[in-house]
Structure 1
Amino acid sequence: MARWKINMIVLWFGNFLVMGGMTMIVPFLPLYIQEMGIHDQHQVAMWAGFIFAANFVTSFVFQPIWGGMADRYGRKVMLLRSGFGMAFVMALMGFALTPWHLLLLRMLNGTISGFVPAAVALLSANTPRERMGLAMGTLQSGGVAGTILGPLFGGLLAEWIGFRPIFYITGGLLFIASLLTMFLVKETFDKGKAQARSNQSLFQTLKELSKTKELPALYSVTFVIQFSILSSMPLIPLFVQELHHSAEMLAFYAGLVGSVTGFSNMIASPLLGRMGDRWGPNKVLAIALVGAGIFFIPQAMVTNIWQLFAARFMLGVFMGGLLPSVQTLIRQYTPNGMESRSFAFNSSALSLGNMLGPIIGGALSGWIGIRGIFLIATLLLFLNALWVRQTLFHRAAAKPASDRSP
């Protein structure tokens, strides 16, 4: 088997275990805070919001720093740094006694995180260009599968063994992912040549990457994608409650609606990646943005759960072509030797969208409701498609920047 395929398979399992382990805590986070002695519902909600966002705040700041180190010392060492570090921090969360402990540990976790962007950078730098779409789509499907199954298993385990042991299990999963990477992933990396390059500051790196105008455009595309999709995410359970009109099996239906997008995303990502290899990732990205925008519209008009279920399923299909296409294009336009830094800036844009989307969406929902949030997401995705056409299509036939050295 070709080396890039072995790397793809191992990193698929790594992404699955990392994202599965990271999302196992989502279903019971507010309950864990209550166990620490916080019982006022408003305080619980505030602590849960701060603790959830803390990871993205520090990740936004530190991802470019780790990306620069990966380009100088190798992507595999950054995978191991992040994987083993997160395994240790996650296990410590099981010993937290107050919400402050949990908040600080989440901030630390965001500081040392970076397994997924490092995996993207390593795979992109060691995969033939003509198979890049397939590799990026397949890699994303592993993370999505973990994101789907993590909350499901976390909720079940919380019922069986309590909250704290789940953090130890999560740490164990991250440790296993790191061991798989250590022994099975190989990269082609000239450390001497990489370290001979100038040690640029973050500002210098961003200035260098900005010379290729497509890269800042792609970072903004990533931000708008995440902002649009996550702006309604925390409100979905409340919307399901509004449509269901009953407390019976409410949690089941809310989980079902939340999972169906991930399932269709997981199935569609490799298929759309192949289409990107054949037609061009810029075309697949534009089609996926328009398709995702279209399927936010029926969500604003549904009258029952099954209509919402169908619309969310189709949304997930088109979501499968979004981030893999962006990642493929970033690799095409990034100068050789700067892949990790380029993907790290994209990861920062993603973290910013993850952080601001739910906050602003939740604030706006008080005036326009979740149905209005869906329509705003449609508008943003359509505008994003126009931005892609304006900034990426004019150089579709041009020589990619990755053919040049920085």
Structure 2
Amino acid sequence: MNDCLFFGLNKNPKLIKNKPKKITKPIQFKFENENENENENENEKQIKQISSSNHSTIFLFKNGKAIEYLNEEYSKQNPEKIQIEENIQKVTVGDDNEAILTKEGNVFAKGEDINPENIKEFINISSLIEDTNDRIIEDIVAGWNSIYLLTSNQNAYGIGSNYDGQLGNCSTCVFLLNSNQELFGCGGNFSGRLGLGESIKEERIQKLTKIQNIPKGKIIDIKCGNYHSIMLIENENENPKRKLYSCGDHQYNGLGKNEKTFEFTEIKSPLFENDDNILDFSVTYKHNLILTTKGKLISFGNNNWGELGTGDTNDQLIPIQIELPKLRFNENISNYHVLCGAFHKSFLYYSPPYFSNLEEDLIKLFKRKEFCDISFKTENGEIIEAHKLILKYRLNENRK
């Protein structure tokens, strides 16, 4: 059974059937075959991740398989399973491109700017990296017409449109955070979306530029929409520990405040007070979603199609709480995630903890020569130090 809510613009006729185009309150939906086989492996039905854009929505399941639903202007056919032989670890969808990260560290992508000869065919783009020792990919993200890769050696690569000379078109902005908590940005700087300060007026920043005057604390995450960006910062000695900061243009109500800001400033709301911390957040074209540790779903921004889940289509400048149907928050709120799909789609979904095969993870670490003292949680809940297991794996390898 999936706990998955949807609200906003219904452009997936095969996914959310018999519903109006404007869904202004969160509704719970099931996949077409969810009740066909009650004995089906639970891993076949549990969502691990969702990625959504104006082009399509991809659901990744716990068993490493994925299903793609194309929006109605692209296809009215039944959803298609993504045929990748390796187990899928993560999916990411841009406007006209898609990328898939496999458990083995390979990335397969498709799109007009990726494979123009056959835009429907996935190709292995990690193999395009010239340095063969840098082809194990840790993370991926799709921009408007571009895809970015982060390798196990902590190098970043881009592929796709290079309209502004920064691997992305005018709608794309990119943030990179290094291990020293230094933040860099490049790409579209419209309305100060990169947080570089009022003195930098250029709308297209073609080289990575260090962002100054970051609020104190540890940067947990940062995400950008078309005209604004939002950053999550944690301070252990403050209450609440986690706070949101925004910069950019307020014209689409995405800042949580009624003024343009060129540097990151705090989004203040009574909904964030006391010991209720921010668990997850999502930013897209013109709206935002926030999930707190006490189970509050909060939204603000434009609301033309009901993407704020407030029951109407009124825009919201200030963060507002959404009334939710009954969910399984009592199991573990940390297993829930929010997603703003580009162009007026919103999701709240339950994703149970995922434990991959421990031995395969260790082999992967061994190949990368990572001998740091990190720990793994096994499926029976046992905590094991990774460096000891890597050593054991090496001893076993020497005996072969």
TM-score, with length taken from structure 2: 0.26
Structure (1/2) with the larger strand percentage: 2
Structure (1/2) with the larger helix percentage: 1
TM-score, with length taken from structure 1: 0.26
